[in-house]
Amino acid sequence: MSRFYKRERFSYRLIDTAHMYDNEAIVGQAVAESGLRREDVFITTKLCQTRAGYELAWQGIEESLARLQTDYIDLLLIHEPYDEALDMYRALTEAYRQGVIRAIGISNFNAREYLDFIGSCDVIPMVNQVE
């Protein structure tokens, strides 16, 4: 091995979960039992239709935190462009400003939906996750 080449081992620890997938609790348990420091695991989760609306979104944030057994979420997304997405996003923005969520965004918005959406946001979504 050349003295200029040092082989390093990289681990990628991003977990993508969602309320809709019904796997947040098992993800939270796995992270807690992994022995890893929380800051070494990046957790993304999403709010679905059952949490559409401002108050329901806050409820969903609290539920996700509890199921994931963490005091913060690295990235929280609105799962789809629901009619109530702006109200949901207002709750995400408040949670982001409080530090409960480190980054906020949307998921599965097409280009037109995205442009319409960001025209009404104080905080531009940090991610638009699409398949």
pLDDT tens, residue order, the chain (131 aa)? 455 555 566 567 999 999 999 999 999 999 999 999 999 999 999 999 999 999 999 999 999 999 999 999 999 999 999 999 999 999 999 999 999 999 999 999 999 999 999 999 999 999 999 98
Give catalytic residue positions. Answer: 21
Nearest in space to 40 (alpha carbons), one of 15, 59, 67, 69: 15
Looking at residue 1, its pLDDT comes to 45
In DSSP terms, 16 is beta-bridged to: 44
Secondary element (H or E) of residue 115: helix 111-118
For 105, residues 6+ apart whose C-beta sits below 8 A from its C-beta are 75, 76, 77, 78, 125, 126, 127, 128, 129
Looking at residue 7, its pLDDT comes to 58
pTM of the model as a whole? 0.89
User: How far is Cα 7 from Cα 27, in angstroms, rounded to an integer?
Assistant: 31
Domains of the chain and CATH, by start? 14-129 (3.20.20.100)
